[in-house]
Amino acid sequence: MIFNSIEFGIFFTIVFVFYWMFFYENNTVRNIYLIIVSYIFYGWWDWRFLSLIVISSLADYIIGGKIFEEEKQNKRKLLLIISLCINLGFLCFFKYYNFFIDSLIKSFSIFGQKPQISTLNIILPVGISFYTFQTLSYTLDIYKKNLKPTKNIFAFFAFVSFFPQLVAGPIERAKHLLPQFNEGKKLNYENIRSGLLLMAWGFFKKIVIADRLARFIDAAYLDLNNATGLIAVYAVIFFAFQLYIDFSAYSDIAIGGARMLGFNLTKNFNHPYLSSSFSDFWKRWHISLSSWFQDYFYIPLGGNRKGKWKTKINIMIVFLFSGLWHGASWNFVVWGAINGGFLIFLEGVIVKINKYDKRHLISSILVTSLWALSLVFFRSETLGDSLSMFSKLGFSNIESIYNFGLCEAEFKFTLFLLAFLMAIEILQERKENLYNWFISKPVIIRWSLYMIIVLAIIMLGSYGVGLNDSQFIYFQF
């Protein structure tokens, strides 16, 4: 089940009404209800993979308690290794088995050898990368003695499977989200209003902007031979915006939906295209994943505590694994390496530019432009396609630009939507509490905006074959 579907609209409405009518008062009853509806939500796609969530949840619930009780460090470490093997074992098998086998076969073929190993017809479970990291944070924090295990199995199972953020995050830490399943909930009008508005804004970004961008981008990447000059340039720029708008839209809907049920999720994006440097960008982009890699991977590697060159090596290792986390393809590894290189070799240049550019306009444009170029590897199917796209970049072929998914009126409207979105982002950046400013306005102004957003989604949404059930980009990870 995906957010931008009629099924989800019906599902969430029923869940919301029944939740506040019958299940919110008793914590245990409420958590059992959330587990059931979350399993229905996930099982709507393929019920067979619910077994993976159940096994991961049960294993980490038991192991987390054992780690906490165990005093001997070697046994604590063994228990942690078991948790890692179970969770990462599932992830590696379903996501990376065929990638590693293909890579192994190609490596041996260089020397004229052909190992008798075959790939498998494996379906990648939706969201496995997200909920694996989420449940791992529980055992890792207990191992580091930063968290006490819960004795409430229903609260833990609800934490792992909570449907608003199950499929594509935010990746929640146990110490932030898990206690919320043991707290009492009260129907709060302000939470419902702000949550519903955030969900509406997310649907607007996804259906009206991101899916409209997808039509041009998909057409360009499907016809690389003719997507030359400015067509390639716009495809690169548009994808940078599509990825951000699409993913932040999912996060908005997830955070808004959870808020309507009385839960507070982590903010996942903070206007990344207004960043003043590469390090600033990674503090603003996919915050829950960036902080996860920092706390559970970069710092254990040594972080920046072991000298300049060791710090650079650690940064590159983290980005290589981050690239691989995004997808089982060498394209993603290259993408990760490029962004690690930006942070290692260009961060100092950006800092110097900022000394003269106090408003950070030049640095924001430079960081975002280089990020957009790196995303060619993220979007392309193969390394060859990536290099082909780079070779097409130029300023020619403007006469054919309206032949790629968007007519002239649609293309110009898309540019307007991007300008409008960035204007909103700048306004939010400068006016920290834009929401409070908005709700202080007269009721007629507020309801006018509500109606405009709803009508815009209905009338201006990008619908059509292949788009009515358009999945969010990060569902593939």
Q: What is residue 229's three-state secondary structure?
A: strand
| Positive/negative CA dihedral, 292, 295, 298, 301 | negative
Give dist(CA 431, CA 332) in Å, integer.
36
CA dist 89 → 75, 251, 282, 389, 465 (Å):
20, 27, 28, 35, 37
Number of alpha carbons in the 13 Å side-chain half-sphere of residue 227: 21
pLDDT at 477: 64
Place of tokens 């992830």: 91
Give dist(CA 74, CA 259) in Å, integer.
41
Place of tokens 């002239």: 408
Assess whether 360 carries a catalytic annotation: no
The size of the chain, in residues, is: 477
One digit per residue, pLDDT tens: the chain, 477 residues? 788 888 999 999 999 999 999 998 999 999 999 999 999 999 988 888 899 999 999 999 999 999 999 989 999 999 999 999 999 999 999 998 888 888 877 777 777 777 777 777 788 888 899 999 999 999 999 999 999 999 999 999 999 999 999 988 799 999 999 999 999 999 999 999 999 999 999 999 999 999 999 999 999 999 999 999 999 999 999 999 999 999 999 999 999 999 999 999 999 999 999 999 999 999 999 999 999 999 999 999 998 888 899 999 999 999 999 999 998 899 999 999 999 999 999 999 998 998 888 788 999 999 999 999 999 999 999 999 999 999 999 999 899 999 999 999 999 999 999 999 999 999 888 876 777 878 878 888 888 888 988 898 888 887 754 444 467 777 666
Q: Among candidates 309, 394, 376, which has minimal Cα distance to 345?
A: 309
DSSP 139-175: HHHHHTTS-PPPS-HHHHHHHHH-HHHHTT-----HH
Beta bridge partners of residue 229, listed in sequence order: 393
Tokens, residue 273: 């295209």
pLDDT at 469: 47
- The active-site residue out of 176, 271, 286, 326 is 326
DSSP 261-308: TT--PPP--S-GGG-SSHHHHHHHSSHHHHHHHIIIIIHHHTTTSS-H
Give dist(CA 141, CA 150) in Å, integer.
12
